[in-house]
Amino acid sequence: MLEPVLFALFSVSAVVFAFNVVFRRNAVHCALHLVGVLLSLSGMFVLLNAQFIAAIQILIYAGAIMVLFLFVVMLLNVKGEAPLLTPGAWKGFGFFFALIVFVELLYIVLSQGGTEGTPAAAVPLPPGFGSPAEIGRILYSTWLFPFEVTSILLLIAVIGAVVLAKRKFA
């Protein structure tokens, strides 16, 4: 079977890229590695029969949002912060609390609580699962009101971004 091989490839590359996002000092490198994470996740979405989501993951995230990030990184020309692993009083706490959260997530995943009532991998897929046509049909019927609210949210975000970025602090 091809699927486990592809899953292993995408998951390992996603995790390695994610480590680079967090531990690189140059912000441009971080942004480019984040693009790597997004592309790996897009591959996983295809494995999970979510073709439309995989496509908009590349178009919106890797295309639009990351270009915005890179634009701001290069616009601001931020000085590199202090080396990450200097002995700081609070960084140890950061790693410690992240470890606690990871153990909790591990417990939730492995305790089978999430798959209760559904036999693993036994649900037959309806035809057209994950296709743009089917997504559109659900989006414009069941989820019509949230969709309209999203358009208002995006309008507010655009206005807010313009107002914030234009304001002169004299």
Partner 1 sequence: MQTLSVPLEAYQLVAALLFTIGLIGVLVRRSALIIFMSIELMLNAVNLSFVAFSRQHGQMDGQIFVFFVMSVAAAEVAVGLAILVAIFRNRETANVDEVHLLKG
39 touching partner 1, by CB under 8 A: no
Alpha-carbon distance of 45 to 150, in angstroms, equals 23
Q: Which of 125, 127, 133, 145 binds partner 1 (CB under 8 A)?
A: 125
Check binding of 58 to partner 1 (CB under 8 A).
Answer: no
Least spacing, CB of residue 21 vs partner 1, in Å: 6
Cβ-in-10-Å burial (0-12, 13-18, 19+) of 20 comes to middle
Query: Contacts with partner 1 in 7-26 (CB under 8 A)?
Result: 7, 11, 14-15, 18-19, 21-22
> What is the C-alpha to C-alpha distance for residues 85 and 69, in angstroms, rounded to an integer?
25
Please identify which residue in 9, 106, 144, 148 interacts with partner 1, judged by CB under 8 A: 106
Helix (H), strand (E) at residue 98: helix 91-110
The answer to the question of residue 89 lying near partner 1 (CB under 8 A) is no
Cβ at position 7, least distance to partner 1 in Å: 5
- One of 36, 39, 73, 83 touching partner 1 (CB under 8 A): 73
State the Rg of the chain over Cα.
21
Which residues neighbour 41 within 8 Å (Cβ) at sequence distance 6 or greater? 10, 14, 57
Among 83, 87, 89, 123, binds partner 1 (CB under 8 A): 123
Determine the Cα–Cα distance for residues 169 and 161; give it in Å rounded to an integer: 16
- Our finding on whether 144 is near partner 1 (CB under 8 A) is no
- At its nearest, how many Å lie between partner 1 and the CB of residue 165? 4
